[in-house]
A and B are shown apart, each in its own frame.
Chain A
């Protein structure tokens, strides 16, 4: 006891050590789950522990995870975008139509991302401009965007993409590392910085925790939300480029049901569905967990419908576990 001379008490910056806080986090628990699934898969199938097989496995989550990063920010801010898969359909349709009339690869990428941006702007204007609830708005635009795609395509498919367009979904940057996987890694870092290290990210957290207080503290709440919808639209556009390139064709049913898998990934990653809390690191681990599970089940020849049952269960369990755990803690 050396500093007894202080008249006013000094308040420590933090309690406990950094390691103790990290060890108690949801992300560490999730990482443990990922390791378990990895080990289980390795034992269950002799084909699993192969560099190229593992590289293939990453395609199960890279496109969805890109959207999940932006969705995580939206959910933390207390909003949601259920139209993301429909944006993929519309963006892919726009690219397909452009490819038919001979637009080159750079033009196609610009059209794909531009369509995503425009769709995001529609959502953003409806939610932050007219102050409508995002869950209703994006259910509406979900039908709207995919509906346009169905009107344009009917039961047809666009298929004539230029050869160089295949790189985004099928190309490799180095050894087993695909372009998609590298893009996923870069975006993960960029979004982690945006959410956790910038003023913008802090504003997202404050809006999600208390929108009134945010507004009363001078945060441009509507502008931040608009930017988040734009960002989600752009990420959906980028995912559309990758997916269209990988499949080499566009049908209106492309990426059907992805919005739920993206939301599952976000929630599994520890982002509070009520807003205000979450990390990009958690979403990254959740992406690996979902990818490994889908791939492992695929290796074991489990049919697709069982996989969707699994995803549904995963969503319910990840929402239920923290809530039940809190109740048990409170009862003591």
Chain B
């Protein structure tokens, strides 16, 4: 096996003993071997990055480590002693804690209650010890350099503050092994820096960290060791300092990835959409821009800058308080999503599962949903028409599925996104709004989605693309609208585009 080196202690010269070791772990589901003889070692005071495409087995590994799945083969050793987790609580008791991609927190409970839910400190009489909850919560948050009051309700916090609460919750149990499953997915650069400071602190406390991320720059910044998963196998592991990025990408996809952002040169046509003075009571104010045929307009900004809200107002699912838009010279009043769809504006939401798909329903029924008028006759469904439409767009998007009748929820994130995009393309839109189109999608599928976006633009579709990933914005956009705190912070042409300008506009640092 290539690139297998024995990791050694970072500071001292003595060989470090792993806290946790997994040997020959296999997890078999009906018809699929999700993990196949995986070996992993986690060392105290070190971050090990777990890298792999979606479906490579990362989530399965996390579920084994947190006691949700029991592996079919192999053993887990903590401090050299074999352990078997009977359930989630057993894993916590053994000192394993996890910060998930989307941690479940409760809006109507206080910060302190959220942190200690399920393991609240008790008084001598078995009652919940509120004083201890609040003081320990404050200690935990202060260790994370946060001044959030443990007594306020979670509802009143920003997304970044919630994230800190989720981390505090994970650290509220005496854990020596911390798993972070894509912790930076929803964070801005500044918040990521804060998170990394926290991770450095955890390292100093001698905790072993398993860090799962799609983003190479972050991995190189924070991790010492890496493990690459492909198709349920650990195909390579070693020290990051000695391994160039290209090698890891090759291990990950099993081939060379050359062009991540295949920007297709498109001749940009006449203006299609003109947005004038769009306002929302709280989220954004006075946004105006123009979108031309075949153009990709990137919308960049920090979380909370009002980007998604703007898009949802353009699509009619969020009410605007002022402003108007013209489509191909005609003023259009959009009051609902059906108005927008009829006018030719469609929206691929950031939260696919929540806003984009009926997950338990078959692929073809999701695909045909906004086009039912075309596939049906006088209000009566025609399965053949729906299937033909679904097949057309499934093939065009190279969808991977066992059949068109399986529930969308059984597909991977990338394939779910293809279903959402397909369902909108079937309506033959003029403008397509993509909100974080590659969020939570692995590198291989990302390139496919990017290629496809370029293809759509070259066919004359006008595209608005919201993204928090700078390389994506820089690589794909013809122009970029930067938003800051609900206002236009700048509108840049392709010639003016560079990372520094955009970040400066988005953060307000001049």
Which of B361, B379, B391 contacts A200 (CB under 8 A)? B379
List A contacts of B317 (CB < 8 A).
215-216
B70 to chain A, nearest CB (A): 11
Give A209-220 as 1s and 0s: 1 = Cβ < 8 Å from B's Cβ atoms: 110111111111
Which of B356, B380, B395 contacts A10 (CB under 8 A)? B395
Q: Which of B408-456 touch A at CB < 8 Å?
A: 423
B347–A216 touching, CB < 8 Å: yes
A216–B355 touching, CB < 8 Å: yes
Give A177-199 as 1s and 0s: 1 = Cβ < 8 Å from B's Cβ atoms: 00000000000000000000111
**A276-B365 contact in complex given A10-B395, A13-B403, A199-B373, C-beta closer than 8 Å:** no
Q: Does B255 contact A (CB under 8 A)?
A: no
Which of A12, A199, A277 contacts B404 (CB under 8 A)? A12
B376–A213 touching, CB < 8 Å: no
List A contacts of B347 (CB < 8 A).
216
Give A7-26 as 1s and 0s: 1 = Cβ < 8 Å from B's Cβ atoms: 01111111100000000000
A216–B387 touching, CB < 8 Å: no
Q: Does B5 contact A (CB under 8 A)?
A: no
Q: Does A99 contact B (CB under 8 A)?
A: no
Give the nearest-CB partner of B369 in chain A.
A217
A323 to chain B, nearest CB (A): 16
Q: Does B354 contact A (CB under 8 A)?
A: yes
A199 to chain B, nearest CB (A): 5
List B contacts of A217 (CB < 8 A).
337, 369-370, 423
B376–A199 touching, CB < 8 Å: yes
B365–A202 touching, CB < 8 Å: yes
Q: Does A65 contact B (CB under 8 A)?
A: no
Give the nearest-CB partner of A218 in chain B.
B338
List B contacts of A212 (CB < 8 A).
354-355
A125 to chain B, nearest CB (A): 19
List B contacts of A210 (CB < 8 A).
354, 357-359
Q: Does A226 contact B (CB under 8 A)?
A: no
B369–A206 touching, CB < 8 Å: yes
Q: Does B349 contact A (CB under 8 A)?
A: yes
A25 to chain B, nearest CB (A): 15
A15–B360 touching, CB < 8 Å: no
- State the CA gap A202–B379 with chains docked (Å): 10
- State the CA gap A206–B358 with chains docked (Å): 6
Q: Which of B315-337 touch A at CB < 8 Å?
A: 315, 317, 336-337
Q: Does A205 contact B (CB under 8 A)?
A: yes
B360–A276 touching, CB < 8 Å: yes
Which of A10, A11, A199 contacts B381 (CB under 8 A)? A199
- State the CA gap A216–B336 with chains docked (Å): 9
List A contacts of B337 (CB < 8 A).
215-218
Count chain B residues whose beta carbon lies closer than 8 angstroms to a beta carbon of A.
42
A332 to chain B, nearest CB (A): 9
List B contacts of A9 (CB < 8 A).
398, 400
B358–A214 touching, CB < 8 Å: yes
Count chain A residues whose beta carbon lies closer than 8 angstroms to a beta carbon of B.
29
Q: Does B192 contact A (CB under 8 A)?
A: no
**A213-B338 contact in complex given A15-B406, A199-B373, A202-B381, C-beta closer than 8 Å:** no
**A220-B336 contact in complex given A11-B403, A198-B379, A215-B317, C-beta closer than 8 Å:** yes
- State the CA gap A329–B404 with chains docked (Å): 24
A280 to chain B, nearest CB (A): 15
- State the CA gap A220–B372 with chains docked (Å): 13
Q: Does B90 contact A (CB under 8 A)?
A: no
List B contacts of A219 (CB < 8 A).
338, 369
B212 to chain A, nearest CB (A): 25
List B contacts of A276 (CB < 8 A).
358, 360-361
Give the nearest-CB partner of A12 in chain B.
B403
B359–A199 touching, CB < 8 Å: no
A14–B405 touching, CB < 8 Å: yes
List A contacts of B356 (CB < 8 A).
213, 216
List B contacts of A214 (CB < 8 A).
358
A282 to chain B, nearest CB (A): 17
Q: Does B341 contact A (CB under 8 A)?
A: yes
B338–A13 touching, CB < 8 Å: no
A14–B370 touching, CB < 8 Å: no
A213–B387 touching, CB < 8 Å: no
List B contacts of A206 (CB < 8 A).
358, 361, 365, 369
- State the CA gap A199–B375 with chains docked (Å): 10
Q: Does B465 contact A (CB under 8 A)?
A: no
Q: Does B104 contact A (CB under 8 A)?
A: no
Q: Does B313 contact A (CB under 8 A)?
A: no
List B contacts of A12 (CB < 8 A).
402-404
List A contacts of B395 (CB < 8 A).
8, 10-11
A198–B394 touching, CB < 8 Å: no
List A contacts of B387 (CB < 8 A).
13
B210 to chain A, nearest CB (A): 26
List A contacts of B22 (CB < 8 A).
none
Q: Does B487 contact A (CB under 8 A)?
A: no
Q: Does B198 contact A (CB under 8 A)?
A: no
A277 to chain B, nearest CB (A): 7
Q: Does B120 contact A (CB under 8 A)?
A: no
A11–B401 touching, CB < 8 Å: yes
A14–B403 touching, CB < 8 Å: yes
Q: Does B399 contact A (CB under 8 A)?
A: yes
A278 to chain B, nearest CB (A): 12
Most buried by B among A200, A202, A276: A202
B140 to chain A, nearest CB (A): 33
B353 to chain A, nearest CB (A): 8
- Beyond contacts A8-B395, A11-B403: 13 other A-B pairs, Cβ-Cβ < 8 A, are A13-B404, A15-B405, A198-B379, A199-B372, A202-B365, A202-B369, A209-B360, A210-B359, A217-B337, A217-B423, A218-B336, A219-B369, A276-B360
Show 12 residue pairs from A and B whose CB-CB distance is below 8 angstroms, ordered by the A residue.
A12-B404, A13-B364, A13-B403, A13-B404, A15-B405, A199-B381, A209-B359, A210-B358, A212-B354, A213-B357, A216-B349, A218-B341
Q: Which 10 A-B pairs have the closest CB atoms?
A: A218-B338, A209-B358, A218-B341, A210-B358, A14-B405, A15-B403, A218-B337, A199-B372, A12-B403, A216-B355
